[in-house]
Each structure stands twice: as C-alpha cells, then as structure tokens.
Amino acid sequence: MVHTSLDVVDEKISAMGKALVDQRELYLGLLYPTEDYKVYGYVTNSKVKFVMVVDSSNTALRDNEIRSMFRKLHNSYTDVMCNPFYNPGDRIQSRAFDGMVTSMMIQVC
Amino acid sequence: MEAAASGGSGSGPPLLLSEGEQQCYSELFARCAGAAGGGPGSGPPEAARAAPGASTAASGPVADLFRASQLPAETLHQITELCGAKRVGYFGPTQFYVALKLIAAAQSGLPVRIESIKCELPLPRFMMSKTDAEIRFGNMAELHGTKVQIPYLITEKNTFKRMDDEDKQQETQSPTMSPLASPPSSPPHYQRVPLSHGYSKLRKSTEQMHPAPYEARQPLVQPEGPSLGGPGAKPLRHQASLIRSFSVERELQDNNSSYPDEPWRITEEQREYYVNQFRSLQPDPSSFISGSVAKNFFTKSKLSIPELSYIWELSDADCDGALSLPEFCAAFHLIVARKNGYPLPEGLPPTLQPEYLQAAFPKPKWECALFDSYSESVPANQQPRDLNRMEKLSIKDMADFPVPTQDVTGDDKQALKSATDEALPKDMSEDSATPKDSNSLKARPRSRSYSSTSIEEAMKRGEDPPTPPPRPQKTHSRASSLDLNKVFQPSVPASKSGLLPPPPALPPRPCPSQSEQASEAELHPQLNRAPSQAAESSPAKKDIPYSQPPSKPIRRKFRPENQATESQEPTTAVGGPASVATVKPHPTVQKQSSKQKKAIQTAIRKNKEANAVLARLNSELQQQLKEVHQERIALENQLEQLRPVTVL
C-alpha cells in the first residue's frame, strides 16, 4: 500500500520537472474501494518524502489540517537532522520527534 | 467509595485511588473549582452531582496547577488529551483525577499512558512560584508521598519553625498549602523531587514500565529514599509538617545543594574542564562548535551512537546543529554522567539549561565579558544565606559519596540505604579522605573565586560521586591523543632535576619561536616554548620566570599556541630536551640556592600550566584534523545536493 503510494509520488515528482518551487503536494485520491484510505504526500526541498495514510472513516480532516501537520512534521524532521549523530537514512529515534508525531496523531483522532 | 464514584462518573478506565490520593485529589479539585468561582463539592464529587457548572475545575486554575507540576508542555498536552478533558470540554472530576494520576506517572518517569494510572503511583507534585498567588495549590501530594524521599540531610530544624508558622497561616484543612511557594529555587527543587521520587518509585514497583538500564542506576540517585518509604500513599498529616520542613530546607538549599539534582549540576572544576575542552575545539568561546566537530569529539567518549544522539537532542536547545558554550557544557556533562552510570534524563534538567549555565557560571578568568550577568543569577543570591547549610550538607554529601561509589555496580539499594543512614554520622570522618580530594580541588576554585558562585560549586560537591576520580582517566580515554601522562612524567623529572624554572619540563617544542620567546620572556615563564627555550635561553630566563604570576602564562597561552604552527608530539621530544635542560641549569643552581624552594614551587605551578597548554596544543592538532574532516563533509554535502537532482 505504501509502496504503491510511493510510486505515485515518484510519478508526481517527475511530472513536476522544472517547477520545483511548489513545496506542498497534496495528493488526495488513492482511494481503493476495498481499503478505504487516503494517502497524502509531501515533498521537501531535499527530496525527502513524507507519506501520510489516513483512514477515510475520519472525515473531519481538512486540507489545512493536513498541511499544518506536514509542516510540523517537516520542522521536526529538520530538528532531527541537526543532530550530527543522526545518519540520514537511519530510523529516526528522536524522542522529541516521536512525541511530536504522536501528539499530532492524537489530536486528529 | 471514591473509586466507585469516580469509576461510575468517568468514561475513562476505572480509577483506583488510594486514600491519600483521594484526599489530595479532591482537595486539589476543590481548589481548582473553587478558584473558578463555582461552588465545588468539598467532598469527592460524584457522578450525580456532575453538573458541568458546579463540579468542574475551570481550565485556568487547572492549567496553572499543571504548569506547577513542572512537566514539559508536551507532556501536559498529552495528559490533557488522555484524561479526556478535551473530549468533554471541561475538567470534570474524572478527568481531573485521571490527569493528576498521569501527572504523577509522568513525574515518576513513567510514560504517559492510560495504563500508567492503573498502577500504584506516588502523588503528583506541584511547585508554585512566588508569583502564583502564593500558595494556591499545595504540595500535599508531596507531603504524603515524600516519606519516600525524606532526604537524609535533615539538619535544618530552623526551617521547621518556619513551617509551623506558615501552617498556622494557612487553612487548617489543607496540608496542601505548603510554603514551597517561596523560593526561586523551587523549580530546581521540584525537578529534583520527581527525579528522586521516580527512582524510589521504580524501586518499589519492580520496574513496570521503566527501561531496564535505568533501574540499575537508581540507587545512585536516591540512596536514602527507600529507607524512609513505606508505600507512597500514607497520608499522615502529622508527618506532613515534618516532611514539609524537610522539603523546605531542601528547597532552600536546593539551589546550592546537590542531592537529587547532583548528577545534573556542574561543579566549578568540571565547568573549567568543559570550557577548556570547548576552547580546544573552538578558540572563540562565544561562538559555536559545529555539529561534525562535536560529533567527532563526543564519539571519543565511546558512548553508543543512539545515546550520543539523545544527548545531543537534549543539549542542543535551539536545534541549530551547533553547540554554544553552555550547550556544550550541558552535553559534556550529560556524557560524563552517563559514563559514570547515571541514566539520561527525559528532559534537560534545569541546571543544565543554557540560560542557567550562562548565568550561573562565569567564564574563566581570561574571558569574563560574556558572563557578567552571573552575579544576578539566583544561585548567587541564594548562596550567602545558604552558605551555612551548604557547608553542613556538603559534608554529608561527602559522606554519601563513597557509599554510592561502592555500590555503583550493584543494585544493592538496601545496603546503600543503611550505609548512608549510618554513614552520615559515623563516616564523615572516615570518608573525608575521599572527599578530601574533591575538597581540595574545590578549594582551589574557591580561592580563586571570581564569583560568589564558586562557593556554590564548592558546596555542592555533591556532584557525581564517581566523577572526580574518573575524570582524569576520562581525559585520557576520551582524547587518546592527549597523552598527558607521558607528557607529565618526563616533565616532572626534568623539573625536579632542573630544580629551576626552566621547567623546560615543557616538552620541547622545537619551535621556531625561540626568538620570540626571548622577547616574551617576561610573560612566558616556561610555558610553551620552554622546551625550545630550555636548550638555549634557559639560563637567561631563569630569573625572569620566578617573578611571573601564574595567571600571566594563562593569558598568554594563546600566543604560544598560535605560534606553534607545527605541533610535535610532546612525548617524543620530552626526553631529549629535558636532559639538555637539566645540564644547563646545574651550574646556575648553586648560584640560586637560596631561591630553590620558591623556584620549585613556581616550577610545579608552571608545569601544571604547561601541561594544560600542551593539552590545548594537542587539541589544536585535532582541530586541524577536524577542519579537514569538515572540508570533506562539505564536499559530501555538495554531492548530496547534486545527487537528488540527477537521481530523481
């Protein structure tokens, strides 16, 4: 499921081509009849992709909320990156980061 | 009864509150609700009475209460969400109780989860600052729960009286009204409490949700905890006042004392050491150490990468990828603590906050400009009045340290308990041997005292017990290239044989700077170029150095460092020049036989300074190496930046 969404993100990116200015990419629509979920994608300037999967049962999620969530995610991610001991590509073990993500998810639920 | 009521009224999991907790929570709830203006039920609110207006705590006082618990804002958010207040929109009794329980859990170091409240927890602690309408919310919880933490250092009976007075002032009902409001030191005090309490709690509750490594370190922090503890929930009012007095004295001394906070306070000596290391990495104390430089440096401490990563997270408060001086000291201190066995804290302790560090610790003599504000800091203010207490406490702390040191490896809490309990009166003299070093070491900074905080440092020797001894070792292990041992040894014999100043003990840096040395002779007793000097200009210099005050060399140290473009291995060259140096002084020895003793003393002092300089020189070398690393990293970064464009 996530892999297919990643493929879609790649498509989008390649489609963007020269116009790399647009930071946000809201892809709403990966809605399989059986799986009933939505996938949001977000790409940063350094080509780091954030993928958010949401249950469609939660209908209250608005566009702005998703954007703000991505922004917070991006900020926390940069904070994690600042840590020189963090190797890009490793699993993120930052407690602050985890806490932020958890709180974000709790807010939504 | 309460449990049933709360269980019935709440939508959350059934709460099992002990008697003490019930009383505490209901009083707090009453307070919150009362403050809101509504008439809350004085007794435990019941579901039947749960009219939204009457028995809910307004968010204002509740928020204040939560803030008084000194938990990080995020934790409070979590707690608020978990307890369901957001869902229902107000703090009903159930939500409030759940929240309090979660606060207690968080303070004990347990994760904030619904499950946490199911286990028996100590009561949450709240600390009020002066500004918060004096004593709105009490530390009743603490009073009940603190049996566990009654510090052994109960020497200050005078505070007891104060407590009594304040008792009378307050409503009879509430032991919650604790005088803890007074001090600016309450935050640190508070912070200390959960730490200690958390550990004692963990000890009691056989580590339910606490990671294993943390348990092992418990005894270190609160040796005295278990000895006094019964189960946390024993609401003995008569004990409350006693405990309160202890807590107050703890409070007062807290700023200068070190117990539960011990691991997280930086002594004067440590501070200097950290600053020296900082300078070795980055000559300008007011700028930053970059991430990669710091990474290399801290990696030498041989801690695991995740731990280092976590320490970085804690200490880099502004998340800029670089460490300023206070951030660096905090990180270094955390590493020291970790190496000595202390578990890492959940959040940055208040004594390690960058603002605190910057205010509390003046810069070393050569650079005072940035730290002029330290005099305004709280610690400085508190010291004069707490000085007496501190002295007493420090002695007790000393006594304690040898004990925890022994038990570092073992989990022998009981032994610690009893040991410390007895240690206090008896072992003070015996243990003085160990603390002596720390005392003497501290005595030096104290004498130097460029600030009143030096006294504070001296007082809170309470530091990590194991730290002073291991530190020297750490130097070697950490900076392996700093072969201080080797450096010092050759220098010692050299100085001894030389007797006289040309303590060219300074490893011969065959620097081209000899000519400069001559001009700077007045200022550089033997410091750096001593080695080179020794060979040639030693006789001439002998007289000059004597008059040099030790401080001068320190100020000048940078110059030699700058001049030392080529840094050679001090160890290798020591032997040769040392012998050369010794030969020359011999003829002159007889001349200055009268000054020998003084010379020896100055020589010793200068040797030490020389060693410090050598250490810095070595680290300069390392810095050069790091510069190369940085270039490499920069190139890699560029590569990465280019890569995405091509790959994707």
The first and second tokens of residue B347, run together, are 């959040």
* Residue % of chain B over a pLDDT of 90: 6
Q: Quick check: B312 and B278 in contact, CB under 8 A?
A: no
pLDDT of amino acid B351: 76
Q: Closest partner residue to A84 among B292, B644, B648, by Cβ?
A: B292
pLDDT of amino acid B411: 44
Quick: pLDDT tens for B493-535.
444 444 444 444 444 444 444 444 444 444 444 444 444 444 4
Whether residue B316 and residue A94 make contact (CB cut-off 8 A), yes or no, is no
- Compare all CA atoms of chain A with the CA of B303 and give the residue at the minimum distance: A85
Distance from CA of B346 to the nearest CA of A (A): 9
pLDDT confidence band for B645 (50 / 70 / 90): confident
CA angle B120, B126, B131 (to 5 degrees): 175
pLDDT confidence band for B345 (50 / 70 / 90): confident
- Compare all CA atoms of chain A with the CA of B314 and give the residue at the minimum distance: A96
Strongest mean pLDDT among B211-215, B398-402, B636-640: B636-640
| Integer Cα distance of B94 and B11 in angstroms | 8
Paired sense of beta strands A49-55 and A37-43, if any? antiparallel
pLDDT of amino acid B616: 93
Q: How far is CA B406 from CA B410, B419, B440, B499, in A?
A: 8, 11, 22, 41
Quick: pLDDT tens for B441-452.
444 444 444 444
pLDDT of amino acid B477: 46
For the cut 90, the answer to whether the pLDDT of residue B415 exceeds it is no
Whether residue A82 and residue B305 make contact (CB cut-off 8 A), yes or no, is no
Closest alpha carbon to B472 in B446, B518, B441, B445: B441
The predicted model gives B103-111 an average pLDDT of 74
Give the mutation candidate from A81, A83, A103, A109 for the B interface (greatest B CB count, under 10 A). Answer: A83
Distance from CA of A34 to the nearest CA of B (A): 31
pLDDT of amino acid B394: 45
Whether residue B309 and residue A100 make contact (CB cut-off 8 A), yes or no, is no
Average pLDDT, chain B: 57
Contacts of A92 in chain B (CB under 8 A): none
Quick: pLDDT tens for B185-198.
444 444 444 444 44
pLDDT confidence band for B100 (50 / 70 / 90): confident
The predicted model gives B286-295 an average pLDDT of 79
Q: Closest partner residue to A85 among B74, B305, B641, by Cβ?
A: B305
Q: What are phi and psi of B31, to 5 degrees?
A: -65, -45
| Integer Cα distance of B594 and B223 in angstroms | 54
Quick: pLDDT tens for B428-484.
444 444 444 444 444 444 444 444 444 444 444 444 444 444 444 444 444 444 444
* Residue % of chain B over a pLDDT of 70: 31
pLDDT confidence band for B637 (50 / 70 / 90): very high
- Comparison of pLDDT for B646 and B541, the residue scoring more: B646
- What is Dmax (Cα atoms) for chain B? 101
pLDDT of amino acid B17: 65
Q: Identify residue B160 by its one-letter amino acid code.
A: F
For the cut 60, the answer to whether the pLDDT of residue B574 exceeds it is no
- Comparison of pLDDT for B420 and B607, the residue scoring more: B607
The first and second tokens of residue B551, run together, are 């401080």
- Compare all CA atoms of chain B with the CA of A15 and give the residue at the minimum distance: B648
pLDDT confidence band for B267 (50 / 70 / 90): confident
B418 touches chain A (CB under 8 A): no
B636 touches chain A (CB under 8 A): no
Q: Quick check: B516 and B603 in contact, CB under 8 A?
A: no
Whether residue B648 and residue A13 make contact (CB cut-off 8 A), yes or no, is yes
Closest alpha carbon to B152 in B286, B250, B47: B250
At B287, is the secondary structure helix, strand, or coil? coil
The predicted model gives A47-54 an average pLDDT of 71
The pTM is what?
0.33
SS (H, E, C) B44-83: CCCHHHCCCCCCCECHHHHHHHHHHCCCCHHHHHHHHHHH
Distance from CA of B637 to the nearest CA of A (A): 11
SS (H, E, C) B482-532: CCHHHHHHHHHHHHHHHCCCCCCCCCCCCCCCHHHHHHHCCCCCCCCCHHH
Q: Identify residue B162 by its one-letter amino acid code.
A: R
Paired strand residues for A55: A37
- For every residue of B550-596, DSSP letters joined together read THHHHHHTHHHHHH--SPP-HHHHHHHHHHHHHHTHHHHHHHTGGGH
Q: How far is CA B312 from the centre of its chain?
A: 15
Q: Which residues, other chains included, contact B207 with Cβ-Cβ below 8 Å and sequence gap of 6+? A: B215
Contacts of A83 in chain B (CB under 8 A): 291, 309, 312-313, 316, 321
Q: Which residues, other chains included, contact B347 with Cβ-Cβ below 8 Å and sequence gap of 6+? A: B72, B314
The predicted model gives B264-275 an average pLDDT of 81
Paired strand residues for B289: B323
pLDDT confidence band for A101 (50 / 70 / 90): confident
Q: How far is CA B291 from CA A3, B319, B326, B490, in A?
A: 34, 11, 15, 36
Q: Which of B23-37, B257-271, B339-353, B404-418 has the lowest mean pLDDT?
A: B404-418
Strongest mean pLDDT among B109-123, B189-203, B390-404, B622-636: B622-636
pLDDT of amino acid B427: 44
B 335-354 near A (Cβ less than 8 A): 346
Whether residue B309 and residue A103 make contact (CB cut-off 8 A), yes or no, is no
Q: Which of A93-97, B627-631, B636-640 has the lowest mean pLDDT?
A: A93-97
Q: Which residues, other chains included, contact B528 with Cβ-Cβ below 8 Å and sequence gap of 6+? A: B506, B509, B511, B557, B560, B561, B563, B564, B610, B613, B614, B617
Whether residue A82 and residue B291 make contact (CB cut-off 8 A), yes or no, is yes
SS (H, E, C) A27-87: CCCCCCCCCCEEEEEEECCCCCEEEEEEECCCCCCCHHHHHHHHHHHHHHHHHHHHCCCCC
Distance from CA of B632 to the nearest CA of A (A): 15
* Residue % of chain A over a pLDDT of 90: 0
Whether residue B316 and residue A107 make contact (CB cut-off 8 A), yes or no, is no
Q: Quick check: B493 and B574 in contact, CB under 8 A?
A: no
Q: Quick check: B621 and B567 in contact, CB under 8 A?
A: yes
B111 touches chain A (CB under 8 A): no
| Integer Cα distance of B644 and B459 in angstroms | 56
The predicted model gives A10-21 an average pLDDT of 52
For the cut 70, the answer to whether the pLDDT of residue A75 exceeds it is yes
pLDDT of amino acid B607: 92
pLDDT confidence band for B140 (50 / 70 / 90): very low
Four-CA torsion B514, B515, B517, B520, nearest 10 degrees: -170
Q: Closest partner residue to A82 among B78, B319, B644, by Cβ?
A: B319
B648 touches chain A (CB under 8 A): yes
If you compute the radius of gyration of chain A from its CA atoms, what whole number of angstroms results?
15
| Integer Cα distance of B483 and B615 in angstroms | 8
Contacts of B310 in chain A (CB under 8 A): 93-95
pLDDT confidence band for B107 (50 / 70 / 90): confident
**ipTM for this prediction:** 0.73
For the cut 80, the answer to whether the pLDDT of residue B318 exceeds it is no
The predicted model gives B107-115 an average pLDDT of 69
* Count of A-B CB contacts under 8 Å: 56
Strongest mean pLDDT among A22-31, A42-51, B152-161: A42-51
Paired strand residues for A42: A50
Quick: pLDDT tens for B588-621.
656 678 788 999 999 999 999 999 999 999 999 9
pLDDT confidence band for B15 (50 / 70 / 90): low
Whether residue A83 and residue B74 make contact (CB cut-off 8 A), yes or no, is no
Whether residue B312 and residue A84 make contact (CB cut-off 8 A), yes or no, is yes
The first and second tokens of residue B286, run together, are 């007011």
Quick one: angle between helices B237-254 and B158-169, nearest 10?
120
pLDDT of amino acid B626: 93
Q: Quick check: B399 and B419 in contact, CB under 8 A?
A: no
